[in-house]
Amino acid sequence: MSVTELVGFDEALSRYEPVIGLETHVELGTITKMFCGCLIEFGAEPNTAVCPVCLGLPGSLPVANRAAIEYTIKIGLALNCTIATWCRFARKNYFYPDMPKNFQISQYDEPLCVDGYLDVVVEGQSFRIGIERVHLEEDTGKSLHVGGATGRIHGADYSLVDYNRAGIPLVEVVTKPIPGTGALAPVVARAYVTELRDLLRSLGVSDVRMEEGSLRCDVNTSLAPVGASEWGTRTETKNVNSLRSIERAVRFEISRQAAVLDAGSRVIQETRHFHEDNGATTPGRSKEEAQDYRYFPEPDLVPIAPPADWVEELRASLPEFPAARRARLQADWGFSDQEMTWLANAGAIDLVEQTIAAGASPADARKWWLGELAMHANKAGVELSELTITPAEVARVAELVKAGTLNDKLARQLLEAVLAGEGSPDDIVAARGLAIVSDEGALTQAVDAAIAANPDIAAKIRDGKLAAAGALVGEVMKATRGRADAGRARELILQRLT
Amino acid sequence: MTAELTHLTAAEIAAAVASGETSAVEVTQAHLNRIVDIDPEVHAFLHVAGLDALAAAEEVDRKRAAGEPLGPLAGVPLALKDVLTTKDMPTTCGSKILQGWRPPYDATVTQRLRDAGVIILGKTNMDEFAMGSSTENSAYGPSHNPWDLSRVPGGSSGGSSAAVASYEAPLGIGTDTGGSIRQPAAVCGIVGMKPTYGGSSRYGLVAFASSLDTPGPLTRTVLDAALLHEAISGHDWRDSTSVNAPVPPVVAAARQADVSGLRIGVVAEFSGEGYQSGVMARFNETVELLESLGAKVVEVSCPHFTYALPVYYLVSPSECSSNLARFDAMRYGLRLGDDGTASADEVMSITREAGFGPEVKRRIMLGTYALSSGYYDAYYGKAQQVRTLICRDFDAAFEQVDVLISPTTPTTAFPIGERVDDPMAMYLADLCTIPSDLAGNAALSVPAGLAPEDGLPVGLQIMAPALADDRCYRVGAAVEAALEQRWGGPLLAQAKGLSR
């Protein structure tokens, strides 16, 4: 189906109710892999972080990583789940070259955590997202398909496999079906993953970088006619790997499925691929030809039976969750809901908090991070936290402005110089001579020079056209390369000409 | 001296090496010579590591000369089943699909043998991936029974049992999944022990059925078995199913060799149709012998043992279908059909088609079916439930008695070729041994004499609860001592299959 046959989003929502669901895979940030002692290293030479166990060599056996089980329980607790008192790993059997044993050690009907929820707020409306299960498994290797146009296996000349990723602990968080979001479905999907990401980050269990694949998302979408008693057939869009893409994928599927249903056809239960370039999804493997994974309890591992006191110890060790922290900080800083949402969306809460801690006012901290610095980050295509400036440096810049040493324009130059690696704010101020010229002598000289050089403007002002003073202030600023205190310059000009 | 060295027990060799009466190198060379002489007839070995064995022996001799402490089996040669990984030797599991594979790591059992100063002579033949009871399923041809070279040595550890019975090595390591140590021991007239599941590490044991596989000793005497049992046992963190408990006092029990006051149960279900008359005759004699030695013998019924065979042929193929999936030509072993145009899927199929033998394929198919969605509950699930009932039969029996006994296998060694086209007949060889595997218990087979009708060895099986392995040795050693007195020496002395 081509993009032109889609039904408009708003029109689709006028006739159909979407139900969404999300399956999120999180690579845990443990030191070693799930079932062996190999170190987890991002970006290591291919096939160097491997051993007989994660290569699945004949005779090798898995040994479960206690830290990974601990992290999974923490995630379950943070998502208000019930923690199993006894559960097992299971083998998921299927053949694929990037899977060393041709089975994945996962969990099937006995997950470690079940039945929780996560609240998200979208446009002032709160949604409770049900969590079906949180289970622990091992990641597969990574295939690189060489030749062919798409980078997929179809049409490739040959494939290379890197097993460094094989055996990295992976947690899968599966939501219950989420009905009742209506036109907000795409935004709710995005908000859920954002909230989950922030929660996982606060737990310190993963670096949750979608661009590096440590957080990966599959998005389920179905449509049913408004008022229908049953939900429609769902599709599963695989590997949607940015927050923006999650929103786009849901939007696209709603428009596409509405078109299918409008045409009197039925939606096929299948997995679909999302394309970043045009925001479309295309069919992958049909569920009708789905594999039989022949799950059975993993005989090489013993059951996991977390003692209740251990679980309680972990519960007690949980940090403040992002939602509670946001509420606390919002109250402390006196920001509006909207301002707080902007901060959260920009990933700037930590930065602003640290900037305030370094002495800046909440308003100044927010102004610099969401203004000038957000613009730079956006231009460079990086996260705010990746900018080469510290919250303490931002606080110092704010302080210099407050003290009258700098005006906003000079402050922007200073921030740029810090980002360019020229040194600390104070060093740069000294080196560049960046300071407002408020010295009366120098300023008076510049004002007099400007009046002398622009007699017609001076005449206008003398005639009472005070607005013309702005032009002379501009000349003064030019002459002082922006360092003049513009307000004082205006005062001096008016003093002399009126 | 050389010929005599090969006929000593492991305990005698270790003592002679420790005292300096002989050297480990001399002992090793004698066994290597024996292998050169007779292995062309027996075909116990798939790989002989002569130079490495002599180097290991030299190291033992050096340690002795330096006054360093030696273990109780230092300098004693051993035949290692080719299912345990060895970094200096190939590991094929008797399969074409692993031809030439050299593992980059040692199995825990291999490592512990090396640490104990045991000399690994080489790797022994086996039914492919330990699936079989005769070694006829080996991709490299069958081994021969030293009692009668036209007969099978049992299986799947038939290479190790043949090597020990033909004096190529005083010690052998086998693995037992459904009887693969005890049945070959029985039909070769030697001692074979399946330790408690998890008592000996599975790390580096190429898996057939993970919940059943157990490495254990094959030897000519009960004491040697106990010494080897102790050397390879104990907790291993690399195997999550390894038992974290002290090794039962097996050597002390083998030396105790006393059954007075012990309660012994005869399993009622293991007799009748299908049991060779000479096997039952020797078994019944042993029962009387045990009574005469002061044991209290009673008959015990274990009604669910009759389901053990079907349960085993659902559980073990299910696990094997998954365990053997990794042999896909991608990373090691055989690769066929990779002509630059074939897809990975095609290369996998071509390689697996050519690389696995018929019995392995049969079990992969059985297991794949039993685990399939819609059949799981009726087959794999049901089998696990019945497995629990079998465990309960054992529990109930061990409330009444200290050990259970039965014939090890219903018949003596059968002729090579007789059962290859009749899998059910082949499977029946493990009828009496399978329950202990399903329950994870300890079980020992010791020679009980020769069946009068064919003059071939019969085995007595002694079954004990998990972690009570010592009871098997206590009873086994008592039976061995009493019977050798009756026979005027070891049963093996009567073997006529070998010219030498």
CATH of B2-304+388-494, one of 3.90.1300.10, 3.20.20.105, 3.40.50.150, 3.40.250.10: 3.90.1300.10
Which chain B residues have a beta carbon less than 8 Å from that of A292? Answer: 372-373
**Which tokens is B126 given?**
């086996």
**Which tokens is B340 given?**
């630059």
**Which tokens is B349 given?**
């199929």
List, for residues A120-143, the tens digit of each pLDDT value: 988 889 999 999 999 999 999 999
What are the strands, taking DSSP E only, across A176-232? 215-225
Report the pLDDT value the prediction gives residue A1, as an integer from 0 to 100.
45
Is residue B180 part of the annotated active site? The answer reads yes
Which chain B residues have a beta carbon less than 8 Å from that of A93? Answer: 321-322, 325, 371
**Which tokens is A197 given?**
């990401």
Query: Could you tell me if B278 and B454 are in contact, meaning their C-beta atoms sit under 8 angstroms apart?
Result: yes
Look at domain A440-497 and name its CATH class: mainly alpha
User: Mean of the pLDDT values across residues B324-328?
Assistant: 98
Share of chain A above pLDDT 90, in %: 66
Identified catalytic residue from B160, B161, B166, B180: B180
To the nearest whole angstrom, how far is the Cα of A313 from the nearest Cα of chain B? 25
What are the strands, taking DSSP E only, across A261-375? 270-274, 281-286, 296-297
**Which tokens is B214 given?**
């157990």
Report the pLDDT value the prediction gives residue B1, as an integer from 0 to 100.
45
Q: Which of residues 106 through 145 in chain B touch A, CB cutoff 8 A? A: 107
End-to-end CA distance of chain A: 74
Q: Which of residues 221 through 240 in chain B touch A, CB cutoff 8 A? A: 237-240
- Of B304, B347, B320, the closest CA to residue B434 belongs to B304
Secondary structure (H, E, C), A66-86:
HHHHHHHHHHHHHCCCEECCC
List, for residues A303-347, the tens digit of each pLDDT value: 999 999 999 999 999 999 999 999 999 999 999 988 888 888 788
- Is residue A205 scored above 70 in pLDDT? yes
In angstroms, rounded to a whole number, what is the distance separating the alpha carbons of residues B311 and B387? 7
In angstroms, rounded to a whole number, what is the distance separating the alpha carbons of residues A118 and A195? 8
Report the pLDDT value the prediction gives residue A151, as an integer from 0 to 100.
67
In angstroms, rounded to a whole number, what is the distance separating the alpha carbons of residues B155 and B132? 6
- Is residue A2 scored above 50 in pLDDT? no
Identified catalytic residue from B23, B133, B156, B242: B156
Q: For chain A, say whether B102 makes contact (Cβ under 8 Å).
A: no
Q: Which residue has the tokens 């005469």?
A: B292
- Is residue A184 scored above 70 in pLDDT? yes
Query: Could you tell me if A319 and A203 are in contact, meaning their C-beta atoms sit under 8 angstroms apart?
Result: yes
Q: For chain A, say whether B332 makes contact (Cβ under 8 Å).
A: yes
List, for residues B190-246, the tens digit of each pLDDT value: 999 999 999 999 999 999 999 999 999 999 999 999 999 999 999 999 999 999 999
Weakest mean pLDDT among A380-384, B1-5, B111-115? B1-5
Report the pLDDT value the prediction gives residue A405, as an integer from 0 to 100.
82
ipTM exceeds 0.90: yes
CB contact under 8 A, A58 and B373: no
CB contact under 8 A, A63 and B319: no
- Is residue B120 scored above 60 in pLDDT? yes
Instruction: Note if the bond before B156 is cis, omega within 30 degrees.
Output: yes
Query: Could you tell me if A344 and A122 are in contact, meaning their C-beta atoms sit under 8 angstroms apart?
Result: no
Q: What is the pTM of this model?
A: 0.89
Is residue B194 part of the annotated active site? The answer reads no
Report how far apart, in Å, the C-alpha atoms of B288 and of each of B265, B281, B285 are.
13, 11, 5
Chains A, B: CB pairs < 8 Å? 98
Q: Please name the residues in contact with A88: beta carbons below 8 A apart, sequence gap of 6 or more.
A: A107, A110, A297, A298, A301, A303, A304
Smallest Cβ–Cβ distance between A300 and the set B98, B210, B332 belongs to B210
Is residue B156 part of the annotated active site? The answer reads yes
Q: What ranges do the domains of chain B cover?
A: 2-304+388-494
CB contact under 8 A, A61 and B238: yes
- How many Cα atoms sit within 13 Å of A41 on the Cβ side? 12
CB contact under 8 A, A93 and B371: yes
Count of Cβ atoms closer than 10 Å to residue A273 Cβ? 17
